[in-house]
Amino acid sequence: MASSDERDDLVTVVALGPPTLSQADADDGALATEARQLLAQRTFPEPAELVKLGRFRITERMGHGGMGVVYAAHDDELDRDIAIKLLRPDLAPDLSGRERLLREAQAIAKLSHPNIVHVYEVGTEGERVFMAMELIRGQTLRQFCAGKPWQAIVDVFMAAGEGLAAAHAAGVVHRDFKPDNVIVDERGRPRVVDFGLARAPAGAALPDHVDTDQHAAMLATATSPHSERPLDLTGTGTVLGTPAYMAPEQFARADPDARTDQFAFGVSLFEMLYSRRPFPGSTYTELVGSILKGMKVEAEAGPLGVPRKVRQIVLRALARDPEGRFASMDELLLALRKARAPRQRRALAWAGVAAL
């Protein structure tokens, strides 16, 4: 548990409790795996034998995250394969909470954009809210960007950003944007998924924290995406997010807005361009301290030769104060397009010369 000084300095606290992975990492891989399974069972309760949910027939469990469990299913009435997300019951433990969660899920279902996963239907199963959505076969944005030149990375991020901008125009904030919450389909089209739904009630005490990463008990070291350290997980947290991608205002419990998503977009783009995250810290306390103080690592051209104009755009999106960021995702995307365009025009000009 953080000291009182750390609480004052870092605003938020992680509630510690067994089982943890720090002990598991000290032993063997089997013990670490068992610890993760115990954490998943404790934090993501689900029906023991879920085979039918309304008219949807469950075919397989695809995975789980901070929001709940995801299944592949088949819609027997419309004869199509879909994905079902069954949200965690503790996100809305009472009737008013479920009604609020249902309303927010319905708002997400109204979004229609080629770069946002399409939600077909929202409903309830007992005391739990579920979302039926299109089933996308592909890879995460993180996987897609591996080994790509900076131009391809910026291009796919701009497409994903168009989805975020469309959501913002409809009054929807994602709250948990990161490379693992964008799926790139087999044709190279990115789709933003996993819009965050959980918010703590106004005036509540500082919350426990739940990391929505797929391996929820692990926090990747900020300066190296491939090096991971343990992060204890609470089972009763009311704030969802992934610490490395959360804006300072999220730790301070301020209501997130479009600029909050912009910050997460900037962290994600920085990470894919430089193969490291912008804020240093190998523990939760160090990481949050870096984010709250705006202590970013140096960003030079790097091995991909990222242009200075692109670096400046990304760093502006990472401003500690929301007022220092772009006014909107549309403005950020316009800046990226302008930074990208000169090189594209030069490439076209050279192609024209070569054709003569």
- Which residues belong to the active site? 176
Supply φ then ψ for residue 275, to 5 degrees: 60, 30
10 Å CB burial of residue 246 (0-12, 13-18, 19+) is: buried
- Dihedral sign for Cα atoms in the order 132, 211, 30, 226: positive
For residue 272, list its beta bridge partners.
Answer: none
Handedness of CA 282, 286, 291, 294 (dihedral sign): negative
User: Can you read off the two tokens belonging to residue 113?
Assistant: 């954009």
Q: Calculate the alpha carbon distances from 324 to 38, 263, 318, 328 in Å.
A: 42, 11, 9, 11
The residues near 198 (Cβ < 8 Å, ≥ 6 apart) are: 66, 67, 91, 101, 238, 239, 240
* Ramachandran region, residue 281 (left: φ > 0; alpha: ψ -120 to 50; beta: rest): left
Q: Which residues, other chains included, contact 197 with Cβ-Cβ below 8 Å and sequence gap of 6+?
A: 67, 87, 91, 101, 104, 105, 108
Distance of CA 339 to the CA centre of its chain: 25
Residue 343 in contact with residue 151, Cβ under 8 Å?
Answer: yes
Closest listed residue to residue 213, CA positions, set 255, 264, 164: 264
Cα–Cα distances in Å, from 177 out to 124, 242, 256, 260, 267? 25, 9, 12, 9, 9
CA distance 35 to 26: 12
Q: How far apart are CA 222 and CA 285, in angstroms?
A: 12
